[in-house]
Structure 1
Amino acid sequence: MLLPILLLGGSYWWLLASKSDVTAQNSKKLLSNNPITLEGKSETKALDSKKFLANSLIIQKDKSDLKAQSNKQKLANNPINRESTQKNQPVSLSFSKPTSVAPGTNIKIDGSTSMAIINQNLQKGFESKFQGTSVVTTAYGSGHGIKALIDNKVDIAAVSRTLTPEEEAQGLVAIPMGSDAIAVMVGKDNLFIKEGLTSNQVADIFQGKVNNWSEVGGSDGSILVMNRPPVSGTHQTFKKVALGGNNFGTTPNITTLPRDETTGLIRALSLNGIAYATFPQVQNQSMARVIPIDGLTPQASNYPYKRNLFYVYKNPPSPAVKAFLGYATSPQGKKVALVDK
């Protein structure tokens, strides 16, 4: 009798335990389906997502920072941006006259033939005052000098025209050095024109509208026009002041020289030629004769073909450039250069 009771009791407790397990499982299922519990899980999942997103953003930011640094480096290495940096440097339009210049200082100048005499005079004056320095000058034209300056082949460009916006954008700065005049000249033995010309006649001759001396008050004879190459600053200025910005003519009687040099131009004048050059270069030439324009000689204050001369440097200037420009623009330097004469 006792054994059945024990077996019955054990079965009862086993059933109770099984029921408890089922109840527990059901409770878990109910909890999992309970909106409150689901909300908790959602919040946990949302937190995990936010954490993942934050980590992703940090990684993306790090990548962006690295990319930005790389881009900055590329921009810094880009020649155009280096030029912009140069342009943004403070621009100096005046320089102090140096009291001393280190021996071994070398300066290279190239540019307008109109400034050849000025360059040579300043070269002698600078080297004499500051022993152990060297100034090398050449004169292949304003355009050539500017290109050489941009390419870092020279320290200073000597030019007889204003800078273009594109040249200024590359960090070039022009320092006024004075003014001169462009003279119109004929060969010394030219018998076709004995008097001067009007400014309108000059424009017509160099544009090819007039090709006989008889059309401008001279005797009958063809006009040989000698033109300077476009690289010449004198060419550009004469085009502006004498032709009103119009192009030179292309008629058969007009010849453009391949190089910007005045000596060859004078030799080519012959008996019937006409040309133009900076006045200081031709005023004492025995092979050429300067003719008045509108009754005015190049020395007259109201002569129509006046123009300014400049030294151009690339910003920021080197110590050597500062020293030379400080000397060149000082009263002593201007006297040596004969800029104002």
Structure 2
Amino acid sequence: MKPKNETAILILSLLITVGILGGGYWWFSRQSGIDLSKLIPGKGNPSPTPNETVSSPEKLPAPTSPTASTTFSAPATVPRGTTVRIDGSTSMVQINQALRNSFELRFPGTNVDATADGSDNGIQDLLAGNVDLAAVSRPLTSQEQAQGLVAIPIAKDAIAIVVGINNPFRRGLKKNQVVEIFQGKLTDWSAVGGKPGTIRVINRPRVSGTRQAFQELFLEGENFGSAPNITEMQRDATTPILRALGRDGISYATYAQIADQQTVRTVSVDGLDPEAANYPYYRTLYYVYKNPANAAVKAFLGYATSPLGQEVISTAQ
């Protein structure tokens, strides 16, 4: 048996410990304002009273970039007879063609049917069920996402300012000059250091994703001008725009489509050409599908986003 004095000391020590813990509990509750009893299972009032409200987490927007739920595996095989229908951005014509050729070669008996009527038209065709994929050169709007559309980023692309090869203007432009030209505020080449003469602005139609991207990147969301020297093309096609430049026209295009052209040249902006590593006027190109994706879409997107598909896209650009 333990001596009585030893037992008494033990009891006294326990009482002191309890007192210290109790005092700490009281002090922490007073200082923090937290009712610690609510953190103990079975204590406090874990459910809201009639006068309490419980906030719910905010809903996240529909994904517009690859996530665990919006990525597809590269297919090992694709059934013969599989057809993938694509419509959309003219900026993605070369990408569509390169992927089509590679996909059909790798998976015999498949068919990729690609047309280019502009990003907005591609999206409308997708919503109507006329195509499987829309090639889009701008992000989806919240309204489009709400209709079940999902955008998968495919590539990055620079937007270049272009003039005809025989245009006597041989200088670069500052960004504010680009803005004022496309808003109709600067209308003569002499105002930007060139020879006197009207600046003919060749603009793309409203359905163009490239136009919308240019509006965001260069005009920062402001509107294009409607001055007499500004012509809006009826169809979103790069070749007619380049042909229309002549000696006094100016426009914009996806750099991949004009880099090797012999009839036009790019104009630097703030001293930077589209090939510069720090050129800021880039946008993302997407393939858009309507959720849930069908088997053809899964196969094509799985291939397009695979290392092999990305290499094909890089070559096309």
Shorter-chain TM range is: 0.7 to 0.9
2:119 paired with 1:142: yes
2:262 to 258, 261, 286: 286
- After TM superposition, list the pairs within 5 Å mapping 1:117-156 onto structure 2: 117-156=94-133
Partner of 2:136: 159
Aligned residue identity for 1:93? T
TM-score, normalization by structure 1: 0.72
Q: For the Cα contact (< 8 Å) 2:208–2:236, is it kept in 1?
A: yes
Partner of 2:157: 180
Task: Quote the offset at 1:304 in angstroms.
Answer: 2.6
Partner of 1:202: 178
Q: Provide the C-alpha distance between the structure 1 equivalents of 2:306 and 2:170, rounded to a whole number of angstroms.
A: 42
What's the secondary structure of 2:265's corresponding residue? Answer: strand
Q: For the Cα contact (< 8 Å) 2:87–2:135, is it kept in 1?
A: yes
What's the secondary structure of 1:252's corresponding residue? Answer: coil
What's the secondary structure of 2:162's corresponding residue? Answer: strand
Q: For the Cα contact (< 8 Å) 2:87–2:117, is it kept in 1?
A: yes
What runs of 5+ residues in structure 1 fail to find an aligned partner?
1-89
Q: Provide the C-alpha distance between the structure 2 equivalents of 1:307 and 1:212, rounded to a whole number of angstroms.
A: 29
Aligned residue identity for 1:104? G
Task: Quote the offset at 1:340 in angstroms.
Answer: 9.1
Q: Provide the C-alpha distance between the structure 1 equivalents of 2:252 and 2:197, rounded to a whole number of angstroms.
A: 20
Task: Quote the offset at 1:124 in angstroms.
Answer: 0.4
Partner of 2:314: 338
User: Deviation string for 1:9-67 (max 9, x for gaps)?
Assistant: xxxxxxxxxxxxxxxxxxxxxxxxxxxxxxxxxxxxxxxxxxxxxxxxxxxxxxxxxxx
Q: For the Cα contact (< 8 Å) 2:94–2:316, is it kept in 1?
A: no
2:76 paired with 1:99: yes
Q: Provide the C-alpha distance between the structure 1 equivalents of 2:313 and 2:101, rounded to a whole number of angstroms.
A: 10
Partner of 2:246: 270
Task: Quote the offset at 1:339 in angstroms.
Answer: 6.9
Partner of 1:112: 89
Choose 284-293 or 166-175, whichever is displaced more.
284-293
User: Deviation string for 1:88-122 (max 9, x for gaps)?
Assistant: xx983210000000000001001111111000000
TM-score, normalization by structure 2: 0.77
Measured on the aligned residues, the alpha-carbon RMSD in Å equals 1.3
What's the secondary structure of 1:184's corresponding residue? Answer: strand
Q: Provide the C-alpha distance between the structure 2 equivalents of 1:278 and 1:210, rounded to a whole number of angstroms.
A: 23
Q: Provide the C-alpha distance between the structure 1 equivalents of 2:126 and 2:187, rounded to a whole number of angstroms.
A: 39
What's the secondary structure of 2:309's corresponding residue? Answer: helix
Aligned residue identity for 2:122? G
2:210 paired with 1:234: yes
Higher helix share: 1
Aligned residue identity for 1:325? L
The change in CA–CA distance for 1:126 and 1:340 in structure 2 (over 3 A counts) is: closer
What's the secondary structure of 2:223's corresponding residue? Answer: coil
- What is the number of equivalent residue pairs in this alignment? 251
Q: Provide the C-alpha distance between the structure 1 equivalents of 2:152 and 2:126, rounded to a whole number of angstroms.
A: 14
Aligned residue identity for 1:320? A
User: Deviation string for 1:197-232 (max 9, x for gaps)?
Assistant: 111100000000000001111111110000000100
The change in CA–CA distance for 1:170 and 1:91 in structure 2 (over 3 A counts) is: farther
Q: Provide the C-alpha distance between the structure 2 equivalents of 1:238 and 1:115, rounded to a whole number of angstroms.
A: 16
Q: For the Cα contact (< 8 Å) 1:212–1:222, is it kept in 2?
A: yes
What's the secondary structure of 1:338's corresponding residue? Answer: helix
Partner of 2:8: none
Q: Provide the C-alpha distance between the structure 2 equivalents of 1:330 and 1:339, rounded to a whole number of angstroms.
A: 14
Aligned residue identity for 2:227? T
Q: Provide the C-alpha distance between the structure 1 equivalents of 2:270 and 2:315, rounded to a whole number of angstroms.
A: 25
Q: For the Cα contact (< 8 Å) 1:91–1:315, is it kept in 2?
A: no
Aligned residue identity for 1:95? F
Partner of 1:314: 290
Q: Provide the C-alpha distance between the structure 1 equivalents of 2:309 and 2:107, rounded to a whole number of angstroms.
A: 13
- After TM superposition, list the pairs within 5 Å mapping 1:66-85 onto structure 2: none
What's the secondary structure of 1:312's corresponding residue? Answer: strand
Partner of 1:304: 280
Q: For the Cα contact (< 8 Å) 2:98–2:316, is it kept in 1?
A: no
User: Deviation string for 1:273-297 (max 9, x for gaps)?
Assistant: 0000000111111111111111111
Q: Provide the C-alpha distance between the structure 1 equivalents of 2:174 and 2:315, rounded to a whole number of angstroms.
A: 27
Task: Quote the offset at 1:244 in angstroms.
Answer: 1.1
